[in-house]
Structure 1
Amino acid sequence: MIRRSFLLALSLVISLPLAAWAEAPLKIVATTGMIADAARQVGGDQVEVKGLMGPGVDPHAYRQTRSDIVAMTRADLVLWHGLYLEAQMEEFFHDLDRKRTVVAVAEGVDKAKLRAHDDYADKYDPHLWMTPELWRDVVIEVQEALTEARPEAADLFAANAEAHLADIDRLAEYAQKTLATVPEHNKVLVTAHDAFGYFGQSFGFEVLGIQGISTQSEAGLNRIGELVDLLVDRKITAVFVESSVSDRSIRALVEGSAAKGHEVKVGGELFSDAMGEPGTYEGTYLGMLDHNITVIAGALDGDVPARGMDGKLSAGF
């Protein structure tokens, strides 16, 4: 009887599909939505990714919660951005690094490619996701971190990364083509904080943020007054709000310009430090940038497709 039960159990195990024998997915925690998306794209079914910062969350001011700490201490791999983006969490990550595998994926990017930080002499602008050329370097860092964590899946990670990088390169081509249609005198991008510096460098835009690179810097009345005068003098007609920053200062620019007889519109909402809603196209890195590129070009009199690069954007322009 025992022998028959053993043989029955063995036959059930043998009949299990091959997937049941596969190693459990790597448990990965990523700080920003952009890093979480890169990990999912590269890792495929070999990873289970939890992102800490959802839509509308400002990473400059974010502090880890108790549930975040539990998730990170149980993870196989923790991916954070670095470059002082998660400024309130740096000490925690340095402590965690002594117990878990923790990788700051933006720290591996060649510093010669980076912009100096306005407020800190030894820091850099962390907003690398704003240009596809820089973000592809971060994706490669994510690939290397996953490969080190699970070497036996190296070929899969390499193939997935190659496919994702091809999409990022296609996005870069779309950006160059679409943003080139904006008239030269309109290539001024006014936003709540200076998150679009790399974007401006890549696509030939003058970028003016009310706050500095970090949202923790103060936007004084003098700065708003200076920008109102600039909007009026240069006849700039559109400014942009950000999904993760209060629109109060941008509204002050609009109202200040109106008081001087110059009409300025809000050209749209841009994704600066966080992506769109999970499950949407804008909730992916490609969709986030496609949205920004299309909204900016459309608001500044460029020629844009109705729904972006592949017709996937939620709203038409």
Structure 2
Amino acid sequence: MFIFVYTGCDPKQQPDASTGGKLRIVTTIGMITDIVKNVGGERVEVTGLMGPGVDPHLYKASAGDVHRLTSAQIIFFNGLHLESKMGDILAKMTGNTKTVAVTDAVDRNLLLTPPEFEGQYDPHVWFDVTLWMRAVGKVRDTLSEYDSDNTLMYWSNAERYLAKLAELHEYVKAQSARVPSEQRVLVTAHDAFNYFGKAYGFEVRGLLGISTATEAGIADVQELATFIAEKRIPAIFVESSVSPRSLKAVQAAVNSKGFNVEIGGQLYSDAMGNDGTPEGTYIGMVRHNIDTIVTALIGGTSASSMVGP
């Protein structure tokens, strides 16, 4: 169990001149970076540690990352053991660095507890847009407390962003409804989409468990292949932050059973897309995922199905 040290900060403390008077903020995953940029606006200088294609389950902080973390005024991280290999570093943050787990804003009764995680929570809460909206509130409240002179701006920015997320939630529901209920089966590389499945009515199967730190064995591949062939699932999906090798082995195993399953496209799970692209934002990432899933499951693969070896 990781113990995270929350230290007191002077709300009136000002950043040094190197940031142009902005708050120095470090975030872990891109989805949190996106929240902070939207809520903090021009008052924050945000450094995200984990970029496109980076797996937070396996991420180890570099010496440069440690310097960025210790130089920050506020660190926002997911929590729920998502950044498990950074736990010791985050626990040692002292002085003027405030560490905040955005998932602390989510009622524990709403979190999923997969049996294989032995009592721990599934950390992938951003796949239920309504739960991720609570993380926005956590960032808003933290910034407002730390920098109270700009509370009105943080609340105004948060309200605009939350309105967009409410629209996003309705979009995902509408797109999901296009897929007949019996066809709503999502097969991916690892179990990152359980919150998505619960919120939007999909049965979710992952080759790996909640964490990508484990590896799939031959028995796992064959079991999933049998499920796909029996259910006649038309498409399975690779993930941008997980090697497609194991899932392509599943595809080959399904084909050997006399049923052809397609790679329906690449989904963004634990990392967003490249900066400057629609998928490089949380909203764009979620829209890409649901559009890719729906297109593949109701007939024909999406343009995003071109993935590397």
Map of 1:208 onto structure 2: 205
C-alpha separation in 1, matches of 2:88 and 2:299: 44
Map of 1:10 onto structure 2: none
Please tell me whether Structure 1 or Structure 2 has the larger radius of gyration of its CA atoms: 1
Q: 1:85 aligns with which of 82, 87, 96?
A: 82
Instruction: Confirm or deny: 8 A CA contact 1:178 1:303 kept in the other structure.
Output: no
Matched to 2:179, the amino acid is V
The structural deviation recorded for 1:261 is 1.3
1:1-317 equivalences under 5 Å are 24-97=21-94, 100-301=97-298
C-alpha separation in 2, matches of 1:99 and 1:161: 25
The structural deviation recorded for 1:76 is 1.3
Instruction: Confirm or deny: 8 A CA contact 2:25 2:44 kept in the other structure.
Output: yes
C-alpha separation in 2, matches of 1:147 and 1:123: 30
The structural deviation recorded for 1:185 is 2.3
C-alpha separation in 2, matches of 1:98 and 1:176: 44
Relative to structure 1, the CA distance from residue 23 to residue 155 in structure 2 (aligned partners, 3 Å threshold; closer, same or farther) is farther
Matched to 1:93, the amino acid is L
Identity %: 44
The structural deviation recorded for 1:253 is 1.1
C-alpha separation in 1, matches of 2:232 and 2:46: 46
**TM-score (normalizing by structure 2):** 0.89
Relative to structure 1, the CA distance from residue 113 to residue 147 in structure 2 (aligned partners, 3 Å threshold; closer, same or farther) is same
* 1:41-87 deviation digits (Å, cap 9, x = unpaired): 00000111010000000000101111111111111111111000000
Instruction: Confirm or deny: 8 A CA contact 2:73 2:96 kept in the other structure.
Output: no
Map of 1:4 onto structure 2: none
Matched to 1:280, the amino acid is T
**TM-score (normalizing by structure 1):** 0.87
* 1:157-211 deviation digits (Å, cap 9, x = unpaired): 0000000000000000001111101022211000000000000001110000001
Instruction: Confirm or deny: 8 A CA contact 1:29 1:49 kept in the other structure.
Output: yes
The structural deviation recorded for 1:119 is 3.4
Task: Provide the alpha-carbon RMSD of the alignment.
Answer: 2.1
Which runs of at least 4 in structure 1 moved beyond 3 Å after TM superposition? Answer: 117-120
Relative to structure 1, the CA distance from residue 251 to residue 173 in structure 2 (aligned partners, 3 Å threshold; closer, same or farther) is same
Q: Give ranges in structure 1 of 5+ residues lacking alignment.
A: 1-19, 308-312
Tell me how many residue pairs correspond in the alignment: 288
C-alpha separation in 1, matches of 2:103 and 2:56: 14
C-alpha separation in 2, matches of 1:218 and 1:156: 46
C-alpha separation in 1, matches of 2:239 and 2:207: 12
Q: Give ranges in structure 2 of 5+ residues lacking alignment.
A: 1-16
C-alpha separation in 1, matches of 2:36 and 2:279: 17
The structural deviation recorded for 1:142 is 0.9
The structural deviation recorded for 1:218 is 2.6
Q: Which secondary structure does the structure 2 equivalent of 1:78 belong to?
A: strand
* 1:225-273 deviation digits (Å, cap 9, x = unpaired): 1111111111111000000001011101111111111100000000000
Instruction: Confirm or deny: 8 A CA contact 2:105 2:137 kept in the other structure.
Output: no
Q: Which secondary structure does the structure 2 equivalent of 1:262 belong to?
A: coil
Q: Which secondary structure does the structure 2 equivalent of 1:54 belong to?
A: coil
C-alpha separation in 2, matches of 1:77 and 1:293: 33
